Amino acid sequence: MSEGPKTPEQITDRLFATERKPEDFRFDASVARVFPDMIRRSVPGYTTIIPMIEVITEQYAQPDSHCYDLGCSLGASTLAMRHGIRHDDCRLFGVDNSDAMIERCEHYVALDDSSVPVTLRCEDILTTELSNASVTTLNFTLQFVPPERRTELLTRIASATRPGGVLILSEKIRFESDEEQDIQTRLHHEFKRANGYSDLEISQKRTAIEQVLIPETLAAHRERLLSAGFERVVLWYQCFNFVSMLAIKAD
Ligand code: GEK
């Protein structure tokens, strides 16, 4: 008897398993199809960070406010936020500029059993409308925004955030010291090997992504968040060269 169609979580990422022409990484239909497996096996800490986004949202979502998940992909962080919201009058928005991601995300949201209203927008996070925010999440998205547009985006988020509201910012980072950079990069590649990626997959993915994912140091992130209008920045998670910060707006 056939086991039926595979659910997305079961589809193994083999996009870089065979030799391919070097071209920049894009969030297209082939990536959306394997995305849950790709991100879980590529980003150390992702499976810890998602449930913690629910915990943080529960602490900071305010009555009658908006919550935003910017760069929502298939909605893992959106649904974590949705389950953390305890106020009937909160509204949640997931935004991504990949049609393929938003199309699949709609199915996940429809299958989820929370009653908090979710609106998905296929839009650029640089121009999407933001207002009355209590919790905003950028879970591994800012790293894909051109560095020269990052201050403008974070300033817009901080201005749209209510007193006491927060931004959850998860990023791949780089280190000031070359020695630490080498150690942490090697450990990240070992994590990928331990998750079944071959040396060819690791090196081809690295070549494809290095022009589009631009990591910055923790100091650069902190400084930018403070100058954008947040009062305090707390590093709440780190695994190798992947971190998550909480930027808090003054009460
Ligand atoms: C998760 N948060 O599963 N406007 C809108 N979307 C964008 C933009 C932009 N300017 N740039 C990139 N994206 C998710 C994971 S993935 C992270 C986020 C990763 C979108 C892009 O289409 C993709 O879906 C997402 O940001 C980044 O918790 O793949 O490492």
User: Helices 199-209 & 178-194, crossing angle to 10 degrees?
Assistant: 130
CATH C-level class of 29-175+210-248: alpha beta
The domains of the chain are located at: 29-175+210-248
Check if 71 has its Cβ closer than 6 Å to any atom of ligand 1.
yes
Which atom of ligand 1 is nearest to 35's Cα?
A: 29
Non-local CB neighbours of 62 within 8 Å, separated by 6+ positions? 87, 90, 134, 162, 164, 165
Predicted local distance difference test score (pLDDT) of residue 207: 78
Q: How many CB atoms lie within 10 A of CB 19?
A: 7
* Ligand 1 contacts CB of residue 98 (under 6 A): yes
List C-alpha distances in Å: 140 to 25, 35, 198: 15, 13, 23
Q: Per DSSP, which regions of 34-90 are E strands?
A: 66-70
For residue range 13-69, what is the model confidence (pLDDT) as tens digits? 777 765 676 677 788 888 898 999 999 999 999 999 999 999 999 999 999 999 999
Write out pLDDT tens, residues 106-123.
999 999 989 899 999 999
Q: 27 CA to middle of ligand 1, Å?
A: 8
- Looking at the whole model, is its pTM more than 0.85? yes
Ligand 1 close to Cβ of residue 141 (< 6 A): yes
